[in-house]
Amino acid sequence: MVEWSLITPALLVYSLGTLTPGPANLSIANLAMSQGRQAGFILAAGVITGSLCWGVMTALGVSTLLLSEPRFLLALKFLGAVYLFWLAYKAIKSLAVPLRPTTKVSRADHKDFRYYWQGVSLHLTNPKAILTWLTVTSIGLSPHSTPWATVLLVILCALIGMTIFSLYAFCFSTSRAQQILVRYHRLITLFCAGFYTLVAIGFLLSIG
């Protein structure tokens, strides 16, 4: 039997956590503005794949087992910080490349899945992702929950995440967003780099 009194608030928590601006949302928005809608969708697909990996592992109890080893979370925070520093470096480096309009997707670059793997890596190295899923499952599932309830919770969260991340990619690839990017390109890029750096520093400080 599905306990909707538990699943409903769990879905609300997941929705709020996904809507809240973070490295994944910011990356999708920035990529959609600078490289076009298709690139944004591909990155969003990678992000939701990474989220699903944590969701499935949490539902199976693997995440709890991993977190029982303190060194795992420390290593994850360190890897997340390194990856975010790398994204910040890439953002700063991109300032040296002239901005090109992306009204059409004509380059073959989008046919590879480098953005997809960037999204997967971004979410798999984010310790907040696994902690969010632990919160969601602790709220949405009880000791009496059936395996079907677990599957349903993961699927519904995946659909919510897919919808929210896709909306980010769609909205930030509009012509209006393109105009904003052209006008404030350097400021947006510096903001992204600063945001990644601050989150990375936060990960490192939480290790101590």
Model confidence at 181, pLDDT cuts 50, 70, 90, reads confident
Give me the residue spans of the domains in the chain. Answer: 4-77+102-175
* 125 three-state secondary structure: coil
Burial classification of residue 127, based on how many CB atoms lie within 10 Å of its CB (0-12 exposed, 13-18 middle, 19 or more buried)? buried
Q: If DSSP codes are grouped into helix, strand and coil, which group holds residue 33? A: helix
Predicted pLDDT of residue 104: 46
C-alpha dist (Å) from residue 94 to 43, 90, 99, 139, 192: 18, 6, 9, 42, 11
- With a cut of 90, say whether residue 82 has pLDDT above it: yes
- Confidence (pTM): 0.83
pLDDT score of 145: 80
Q: Quick check: 105 pLDDT over 50?
A: no
pLDDT of residue 103: 47
Average pLDDT over residues 93-117: 64
Nearest alpha-carbon partner for 197 in 88, 94, 78? 88
Tokens of 141: 């599932």
Using pLDDT thresholds of 50, 70 and 90, give the confidence band for residue 47: very high
Name the residue with tokens 């199976």. Answer: 60
CA separation (Å) from 128 to 52, 107, 131, 186?
A: 14, 34, 5, 28
Helix locations, the chain, DSSP H: 4-19, 23-35, 37-59, 62-67, 70-93, 114-124, 127-140, 147-171, 175-207
pLDDT at 156: 94
What are 130-158's pLDDT values in tens digits? 888 888 988 888 888 888 888 899 999 99
Report the distance separating Cα 60 and Cα 36, nearest Å: 37
